[in-house]
């Protein structure tokens, strides 16, 4: 049981480039989330999904897109990368049920120069 | 809008001492959850403890306990017999309801805790 996995671990992008951050969970969780963590700050919610085919915006969605075609995968797409998107990105998943706990992946450190 | 405030950017204590991290939050909801997450240098987010707002009893997990004051909207974390491995960033988080049942976390700015030998 790998939990939540994210790829890549690190990435450097040039301004204007695009990329997709991958997130996969093997716990059959309905809910998946993308957060970003800027230096010295807490995490902020970018997008979330309540199930395959259903996504919604969080606090800071501008500059990002998501899709959820399967229960397991929740990729985050950056179009036209900007320096302001330099951050650490965390994917998380959760099962509504009883615990309300979210399980986090190890994060992707992205630098845009 | 819900906000979470951690007023202590950094704290430092000696090993085996007890330390308390502060957190206040603002919400108009009556039913919610509060969490403390630990983030060591590895960056992994680790759940430390969870509190349901409808429960009056404070949550405890081994050396970790909380002081939940609902009326004051305060949620502090106490670490007893602190260990070197407790060195990390600690984030207080509030869980609010999103659309279609999603549970969205709102995080504080974090407290950097250092345990000295």
For residue B102, the chain A residues in CB contact (below 8 A) are 31, 48, 50, 56
- Sequence spans of domains, chain A: 4-112
Interface test with A, best of B10, B45, B108, B111 (most A CBs within 10 A): B45
Q: Is the pLDDT of residue B102 over 80?
A: no
DSSP character string of A80-96: S--GGG-EEEEEEEE-T
**Residue B98 confidence (pLDDT) above 70:** no
Contact A93, A29 (CB under 8 A): yes
Task: Mutate one of B29, B43, B61 to test the A interface: name it (highest A CB count within 10 A).
Answer: B43
Collect all residues of chain B within an 8 Å Cβ-Cβ radius of residue A88: 43
The pLDDT tens digits for B39-78 are 999 999 999 999 998 888 999 999 999 999 999 999 999 9
Tell which wins on pLDDT, A1 or B103: B103
Does the structural domain B3-110 have CATH classification 3.90.1150.10?
Answer: no
Angle A47-A48-A53 from CA coordinates, rounded to 5° = 115
Q: How far is CA A73 from CA A56, A68, B84, B102, in A?
A: 15, 6, 36, 17
Question: Alpha-carbon distance B72 to B113, whole Å?
Answer: 24
Distance CA B76, CA B60 (A): 12
Give the chain B residue nearest A32 (alpha carbons). Answer: B102
In chain B, which residues have their Cβ closer than 8 Å to the Cβ of A35? 105
Residue spans of beta strands (DSSP E) within chain B = 3-5, 10-14, 19-21, 24-26, 33-39, 46-52, 60-61, 64-69, 74-79, 88-97, 103-107, 111-116
Q: What is the pLDDT along chain A (113 residues), one digit of tens a residue?
A: 779 999 999 999 999 999 999 999 999 998 999 999 998 889 999 999 988 999 999 999 999 999 999 999 999 999 999 999 999 999 999 886 556 788 999 999 999 99
CATH number listed for the domain at residues A4-112:
2.60.40.10
């Amino acid at each position: 049981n790998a939990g939540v996995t994210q790829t890549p671990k690190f990435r450097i992008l040039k301004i204007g480039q695009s990329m997709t951050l991958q997130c996969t969970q093997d716990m059959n969780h309905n809910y998946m989330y993308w957060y970003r963590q800027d230096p010295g700050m807490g995490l902020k919610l970018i997008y979330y999904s309540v199930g395959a085919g259903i996504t919604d915006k969080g606090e800071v969605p501008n500059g990002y897109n998501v899709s959820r075609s399967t229960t397991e995968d929740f990729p985050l797409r950056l179009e036209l990368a900007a320096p302001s998107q330099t951050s650490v990105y965390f994917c998380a998943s959760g099962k509504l049920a009883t615990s309300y706990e979210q399980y986090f992946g190890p994060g992707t450190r992205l630098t845009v120069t | 809008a819900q906000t979470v405030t951690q007023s202590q950017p950094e704290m430092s204590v000696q090993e085996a001492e007890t330390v308390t991290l502060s957190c206040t939050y603002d919400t108009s909801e009556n039913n919610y959850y509060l969490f403390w997450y630990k983030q060591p240098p590895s960056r992994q987010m680790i759940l430390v403890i969870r509190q349901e707002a409808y429960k009056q009893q404070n949550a405890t997990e081994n050396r970790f306990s909380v002081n939940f004051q609902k009326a004051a909207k305060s949620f502090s974390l106490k670490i007893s017999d602190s260990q070197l491995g407790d060195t990390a960033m600690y984030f207080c988080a509030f869980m609010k309801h999103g659309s279609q049942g999603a549970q969205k976390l709102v995080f504080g700015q974090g407290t950097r805790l250092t345990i000295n030998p």
